[in-house]
Structure 1
Amino acid sequence: MYGFISSSYGFWLGFSSFCFKANLRARAEWEDISTMLSTDLEIRLAALEAEVALLKRLLPTVSETPWWKKIIGTFADDPAYEEAMQFGQEYRQSLKPLAEEASESSNVSL
């Protein structure tokens, strides 16, 4: 009876040693994979940071003055601008009768 206990104890001792070694191997492999992943991630992050830096250099700097304030007065006393404004106004006026007719036809009682 005691022989069985001692032999089973030996088995469990060997098995636990095997599990411990397997755990160490798995942990070492995971550390290798983790190191490779973090290295790959660091390389990709560095590439992205370089790309963002390049894009920032290519973008124009934002000025304090809004664009529309910079062009105020550009067309002052320009006959072509006045003519374009006149054409635009005439076009908008020509659309009003069509809009009124459409609203009247939609209000017809059945």
Structure 2
Amino acid sequence: MLDETTLERRLVILEQAVSDLQRKVDSKPAPENWLQKLIGSISDEAAFLEVLEYGRTFRQTDKPIDENDEQS
């Protein structure tokens, strides 16, 4: 079993560690909203524009054929 002096010493060490951790957390700026940071970050990339075009083409080929369009 631990004596009172050892417990006191361990408690002081733990309190110091908690204090250090709180200071570290408080000193960091609030994180930015990850979605706001991501939006528009690749919109001017050629690969991104190509992917958009592939998606557009895929959606158009996946549309059901309208019977009225076939008779025209």
Which TM-score band (shorter chain)?
Answer: 0.3 to 0.5
| Structure with more contact order per residue of length (Cα contacts < 8 Å, sep ≥ 6) | 2
Q: TM-score, normalised by structure 2?
A: 0.42
Larger helix share, 1 or 2? 1
Higher gyration radius (CA): 1
